[in-house]
A and B are shown apart, each in its own frame.
Chain A
């Protein structure tokens, strides 16, 4: 079965960096677009970033563009999110999410990796 397991979250000071990883299994990772979606405490869901199956095209929410970088290693079946210049408003649970080929809804979710930005 499809499994997405995030890691790398934690507590970090404002302005610092953090890198999230997502280990994928149970499907052909290189066939699928992948996303990061976040959820601030007690709030709704916010799409953060998308990377297409081959890693050549990436898209970002305005709130993170220029600070966050999404990447993938198809040989290792792993998705990444490099987060720089972190702000308090980036505090959230970050989900690694898969979408079916050519259809950008979210059919499989990881359990999430918590990120807290606080001094």
Chain B
């Protein structure tokens, strides 16, 4: 099973700042990585698929990069609604696994 490790566990930033979230895979997953946002009490929402492709209706301030084992989600300038939990997910091999999540909180 591929293990995804996200860091940091919690990230404290202010609106307008840049956020950089990391996801590391235990083996190469090429670019088969997705990112999701989950606000409190809501279902997850797909942000990025295949490492760097924005999903429909996702603002341009969200971007993804990486390949192999190291991936990054960047939010260029934080809006108040961006403070949430972010999870990565791999679809390279069964079973499909998620990272444990990074909580992005207001500083």
Contacts and interface: CB of A to CB of B under 8 A. Distances in A.
Given A59-B94, A61-B95, A62-B95, A106 B87 contact: no
B89 A45 contact: yes
Contacts of A44: 87, 98-101
B-side interface size class: 20 to 34
Contacts of A103: 49-50, 91
A51 to B, nearest CB: 14
A107 B36 contact: no
Interface stretch (B14-22, B40-48, B73-81): B40-48
Interface of B is mostly: loop
B89 A105 contact: yes
Interface residues of A, number: 19
Interface of B: 34, 36, 42-46, 49-50, 55, 87, 89, 91, 94-101
12 contacts: A44-B101, A45-B36, A45-B98, A45-B101, A50-B96, A59-B94, A103-B91, A104-B91, A104-B96, A105-B34, A105-B50, A106-B44
